[in-house]
Amino acid sequence: MEPGDGSRQPRGLRKRFAFWAGRKVKQLLEGVNGIKSSSTSTHHAGISTTPSTETVVRHHGSGQGQFPISQPVHDHLQLRFKSSPLPNTTGSVVAGNETASTKPFPPNIKIASVDFLGDVHSATTYVKRDLGFQGQIGEYILLSYGDTLYSDENNNDTWRGMTSDSLALATHDPLVVVDPVLNDDGYPPQFCPVVSSFDEDPADCALGITNAVETTDGDGIMFFLLNHRPNGTNNLVGAGVATVNLDTSVYPPTPSIHRLAKYWWDATCEPWYGDICALRSEGHIYAYGHGGEGNPYVYLTRVPVENATDLSCYEYWNGEGWQPERLQTKSLGEKESMFWQINQGQVVWSSYFECFIFVYCDNWMNSKVLMKTAQRPEGPWSDATTLYQATPITNGSSIYAAVPHPYFDESGQTLVVTFTNHPNVVQAVKVTFG
């Protein structure tokens, strides 16, 4: 962490004890496997049919998210220990077997059922937040969140403070996350920091982050988008890269981050690379980003994994191939793009379909969780399939930022998806493919 961020780190005897205790608990929990959902099915709500899929939708608890889900009492200490390692992470986030696909493309997508699981919450603090991109470093899944509002056990709206981003660890339960670092007030601090040496003022600057991508054992990178927003007016400044380290000598494992520069790509004239998501595949890291103000398309850059911290090694998709010259948004259009009118989402490798899938929400305020498929990160990408039709909590609003979590089922036949139901309620469903 940057100095002065208020996080508490174990030191001296405390650190040695934490190291010993973490290892002992990890040994005790080896072999724990599978999803343990904290909600149970109470009724079968109906069947919805689209031209390409037939979906049985099951809603747990009181409905599709329009009412709060009553959460059971958890053993929070046990959940802290069970946050790691997750059972099914091998090959789920780092895609490496794309060329070995034996299934026909495009895949025949059939949805057998969709189970609404409930609201996602932290086992170690009280917050309201959005997004929740997933990335993997070693055996651990890191979840990257956006605006994180400090709350209490009653989820009330009394102002207690907030950060523009935070980081948590996934657990075996898709509805429970663990915040590994808390400030003196018991809340997660800003993860990707505002840096005073870059002339950034916390009162006016904020950072958006997407998923961590592993580069070497215990280390990775993360893309960020710098926002200068005095008086609440957004002025996106630039996109950049930070290095991420996960200290597994303590428990829970402690992440830290270091920004390599104020930004790399100028948000006023270049795509916002990485602000959609990033992916590691076949020796490269790929980063998808919006085209910028007034540009409805999404563009792609990539870099060899070993050169991820060297801006000069990045190359850019121009619609026909990769070029070293940086792209300027004023000369870009559909030809060079990956997607159009995308809100937010994430690209992952599907073991079940043996291709890439992009799970996302679009910009049409329709509260749909959508999915596209491709054989390569640069596409071409298929037409969209609707995975789930959500119900907004707030009338006239919509869900956003659908994120796939493939590590809960290594076979890929089921897929946990989270999304943000406005305002700042992250919810989860489990899609079962037929």
Q: Tokens at residue 308, please?
A: 């991820």
* Statement: residue 71 has pLDDT above 80: no
What pLDDT, on a 0 to 100 scale, did the predictor assign at position 2? Answer: 39
Domain total of the chain: 1
Q: What percentage of residues in the chain have a pLDDT greater than 70?
A: 77
Assign 251 a pLDDT band (cuts: 50, 70, 90). Answer: confident
Q: What is the β-pairing status of strands 166-170 and 254-259?
A: unpaired
Q: Cα–Cα distance between 120 and 4 in angstroms, integer?
A: 29
For residues 411-430, average pLDDT: 97
DSSP state of 95: B
Q: Cα–Cα distance between 130 and 144 in angstroms, integer?
A: 9
Considering the domain boundaries, does residue 118 fall inside one?
Answer: yes
What pLDDT, on a 0 to 100 scale, did the predictor assign at position 91? Answer: 40
Burial of 245 (0-12, 13-18, 19+ CB in 10 A): middle
Smallest CA-to-CA distance from 108 within 348, 342, 355 is with 355
Q: Tokens at residue 415, please?
A: 């897929």
The pTM of this model reads 0.82
Of the two residues 22 and 153, the one the predictor is more confident about is: 153
Residue 167 has, within 13 A of its CA and on its CB side, a CA count of: 29
Q: Cα–Cα distance between 414 and 62 in angstroms, integer?
A: 23
Considering the domain boundaries, does residue 1 fall inside one?
Answer: no
Name which of 41-45, 283-287, 422-426 the model is least confident about: 41-45
What pLDDT, on a 0 to 100 scale, did the predictor assign at position 318? Answer: 98
For residues 119-145, average pLDDT: 96
* Statement: residue 82 has pLDDT above 70: no
Q: What is the CATH number of the domain that holds 411?
A: 2.120.10
Q: Cα–Cα distance between 332 and 342 in angstroms, integer?
A: 16
Considering the domain boundaries, does residue 50 fall inside one?
Answer: yes
DSSP state of 83: T
Q: Cα–Cα distance between 192 and 207 in angstroms, integer?
A: 7
Assign 101 a pLDDT band (cuts: 50, 70, 90). Answer: confident
* Statement: residue 281 has pLDDT above 60: yes
Assign 110 a pLDDT band (cuts: 50, 70, 90). Answer: very high
Cβ neighbours for 328, distance < 8 A, ≥ 6 positions apart: 269, 270
What pLDDT, on a 0 to 100 scale, did the predictor assign at position 46? Answer: 30
Considering the domain boundaries, does residue 62 fall inside one?
Answer: yes
- How high is the mean pLDDT of the chain? 83
Tell me which residue range forms the domain holding 267.
Answer: 12-433
231-240: per-residue pLDDT in tens?
A: 889 999 999 9
Cα 238 versus chain centre, distance:
20
Smallest CA-to-CA distance from 257 within 320, 210, 203, 325 is with 210
198-246: per-residue pLDDT in tens?
A: 999 999 999 999 999 999 999 999 999 999 999 889 999 999 999 999 9
Residue in this structure with the two tokens 């018991």, named with its chain if needed? 186
* Statement: residue 295 has pLDDT above 60: yes
* Statement: residue 330 has pLDDT above 60: yes
Residue in this structure with the two tokens 């494992």, named with its chain if needed? 253
Considering the domain boundaries, does residue 7 fall inside one?
Answer: no
What pLDDT, on a 0 to 100 scale, did the predictor assign at position 194? Answer: 96
Residue in this structure with the two tokens 């490798």, named with its chain if needed? 349
Name which of 22-31, 124-133, 341-350, 379-388 the model is least confident about: 22-31
Residue-wise DSSP of 136-158: EETTEEEEEEEEEEE--TT----
Cβ count near 147 (within 10 Å): 19
- Answer whether 369's CB lies under 8 Å from 429's CB: yes
Q: Cα–Cα distance between 266 and 234 in angstroms, integer?
A: 15
Considering the domain boundaries, does residue 3 fall inside one?
Answer: no
Q: Cα–Cα distance between 253 and 171 in angstroms, integer?
A: 13
What pLDDT, on a 0 to 100 scale, did the predictor assign at position 348? Answer: 98
For residues 247-263, average pLDDT: 95
What pLDDT, on a 0 to 100 scale, did the predictor assign at position 49? Answer: 28
CA distances to 133, 264, 294, 320 from 333, rounded to whole Å, are 27, 22, 11, 13
